[in-house]
Amino acid sequence: MQQNSSLTSRSSVNTRRWVAGFLIVMAAMIDGIFLILGLSDDISAALAIGLIGLTTFFSVIIAFNIVTTSPGYEAGEIRKSIGVSVVVTYLVTLPLLLIDSQVDPVVRDSVLDSLTAVTAVTIGFYFGSRILHQIVSAWRSTRYEQHSHVANSNATQHTAQNMQHERPPVSNFPG
């Protein structure tokens, strides 16, 4: 009976994840359509771009969490979500700022420079943290192997020294 309840709750959580993911993706698509087609003057470009970044972030997090089927977050899900959302935001902002002639050139250049720097740093840290993680893991495993090898050789030497210092067994029988 407990297993059935556990399966039902897991199914309910997965269903909620799919619904939340679908709603977030739909919000991003509608927001993008309004932004690209210019259908609404009420939605500013900054708000629309921010919403696209947020919806991308949460969509990717939910997608990775659904794929892994674990209740918590696996290692790297947040990093992937941040990376994808920053790159998508950059790719959406770039044509809007370059094509839209209403933006002041000084502001446009400043925003593009800043956004390019943020995107470059995000991509650099994304791949840099992976490489650093692999280097640290390799260093730890090498260090662990060396430490265990030294410990084993010390134990072998200690056992050999103890055997040399031990007296031979004394026999109770005259001989």
pLDDT at 5: 53
Kindly state whether residue 24 falls inside one of the protein's structural domains: yes
In a domain, 49, yes or no: yes
**Lookup result for tokens 């700022």:** 97
At 92, phi and psi to the nearest 5?
-80, -40
Amino acid at 53: G
Domain-located, residue 110 = yes
Is 145 a member of any domain?
yes
Structure tokens at 128: 């840099």
Residue 165 scores a pLDDT above 70: no
Phi, psi of 167 (to 5 degrees): -80, 150
Read off the pLDDT of residues 94-104 as tens digits, 9 standing for 90 and up: 887 787 667 77
pLDDT in tens, 23-80: 777 776 776 676 666 655 555 667 777 888 888 888 888 777 777 766 666 667 888 8
* pTM recorded for the entire structure: 0.58
Q: What is the pLDDT of residue 114?
A: 92
Query: When comparing pLDDT for 141 and 158, which is higher?
Result: 141
With respect to residue 99, please indicate whether it lies within any of the assigned structural domains. Answer: yes
Q: Which domain holds residue 54?
A: 2-164
Q: Which residue has the higher pLDDT, 135 or 7?
A: 135
Please give the Cα distance from 28 to 61 (Å, whole number): 14
Task: Out of 5-9, 13-17, 34-38, 59-63, give the one with best mean pLDDT.
Answer: 59-63
Q: How many domains does the chain have?
A: 1
Tell me whether residue 81 is in a domain. yes
Name the residue among 45, 119, 48 with its Cα closest to residue 85.
Answer: 119
Tens-digit pLDDT profile for residues 109-157: 888 899 999 999 999 988 888 888 889 888 888 877 776 665 566 555 5
Residue 18 has pLDDT above 80, yes or no: no
Residue 170 falls within a domain, yes or no?
Answer: no
pLDDT score recorded for residue 63: 79
Residue 157 included in any domain:
yes
